[in-house]
Chains A and B, each alone.
Chain A
Amino acid sequence: MIAEIFVIMYAIVVMGFVAWNIRKGAFVIDPSKLVPILIFILLVFVLFLRYTGLNLGVAVATLMKIGAAGILFAGTIPMISAAVGLFRFGDEFSPNIFYVRNHITGVIDTVASLVMIFAGLLIYRLDLVAVGFFFFVLIPFCGNALANAYYYNYQRRLGK
């Protein structure tokens, strides 16, 4: 029960930070500073756990798993935002709305693939990383092919 309470606190902190970034429309802390800070905190925790007598490999794996959980919590907010965006436009089907929806589905794909890559790296699942990376490479081609198909269909309809 104590662990669940700490998990809720951890989720609120991570999701709140991501929501703050989205609300601001820019990075609250620049990634070039945030990533070294997180790595430094990880090293301090590893040294602390090593000092308390825990095996080094177990300490690193445990902290990596907590980081992977943080990435999963962080991916939740953009995914829900994209879902709200998909519901937002109702029954409008004009060209501009198509391109907006294409962007929103691109956000869904990107969040899904980035979560797969980074969570897979942190829990030592290289199959997850490989599939996520392959999918990440294919996302721009998908979006471009869909927009291209819509554009030429629309031009054809205008020509008739």
Chain B
Amino acid sequence: MIDLALFADTAFFWGAFVFMVACSIAGIGAIRLALKGEAVTSLMGVSALTTVAGVSLYLIQIIFDVEFARDTAIALLVLGAVGTIVFARLFRMEGGQ
């Protein structure tokens, strides 16, 4: 009979690992978006990149117990979203006014 606690730990570890790989693939797409196109498209790509990087760092903190990764993840997620809104408002104004 399978040990249920071992199964739960293994399933959570591999679930987080597979999700981080999926986030990395999305991050590559976001980098590509950020390096091509115009300013607003780049801002969109950077916003998506901060999201996937933040979630991946949070999962790293959970499964590997790396404490500083959580602080970095919170900073990335919160400041990434707020910064995107602020810079989008700046891009909207003509001549940066």
Chain A residues in contact with chain B, CB under 8 A?
Answer: 2-4, 6-7, 10-11, 49, 58, 62-63, 65-66, 68-73, 75-76, 79-80, 82-83, 86-87, 91, 93, 98, 101-102, 105, 108-109, 112, 115-116, 123, 125, 127-128, 131, 134-135, 138-139, 141-142, 145-146, 148-150, 152-153, 156
In the bound complex, how far is the Cα of B32 from the Cα of A82, in angstroms? 14
Q: Is the CB of A66 within 8 A of B55?
A: no
Interfacial chain A residues near B74, Cβ < 8 Å: 131
In the bound complex, how far is the Cα of B1 from the Cα of A2, in angstroms? 10
Interfacial chain A residues near B77, Cβ < 8 Å: 131, 134-135
Q: Contacts A2-B2, A49-B4, A93-B38 hold; do A10 and B11 have CB atoms under 8 A apart?
A: yes
Interface band, chain B: 35 or more
In the bound complex, how far is the Cα of B15 from the Cα of A69, in angstroms? 5
Interfacial chain B residues near A116, Cβ < 8 Å: 55, 58
Q: Is the CB of A80 within 8 A of B88?
A: no
Q: Mark B4-30, 1 if CB is under 8 A from A, else 0.
A: 111111111011101101110110111
In the bound complex, how far is the Cα of B33 from the Cα of A93, in angstroms? 10
Q: Contacts A86-B30, A142-B85 hold; do A112 and B55 have CB atoms under 8 A apart?
A: yes
Q: Is the CB of A76 within 8 A of B41?
A: no
| Distance (whole angstroms) from the CB of B5 to the closest CB of chain A | 5
Q: Could you give 17 example pairs across A and B, Cβ below 8 Å?
A: A7-B10, A11-B18, A62-B4, A70-B15, A76-B22, A82-B26, A105-B30, A105-B47, A112-B55, A116-B58, A128-B58, A139-B81, A142-B81, A146-B40, A149-B92, A153-B38, A153-B39
By beta carbon, the residue of chain A nearest B92 is A149
B4, B22, B73: which contacts A83 (Cβ < 8 A)? B22
Q: Contacts A6-B7, A62-B8 hold; do A76 and B89 have CB atoms under 8 A apart?
A: no
Q: Mark B44-79, 1 if CB is under 8 A from A, else 0.
A: 110110011011001000100000001001100110
Interfacial chain B residues near A80, Cβ < 8 Å: 22, 25-26
Interfacial chain B residues near A66, Cβ < 8 Å: 7-8, 11-12
In the bound complex, how far is the Cα of B6 from the Cα of A79, in angstroms? 27
Q: Is the CB of B37 within 8 A of A149?
A: no
Interface hub of A4, A76, A152 (most chain B Cβ within 10 A): A76
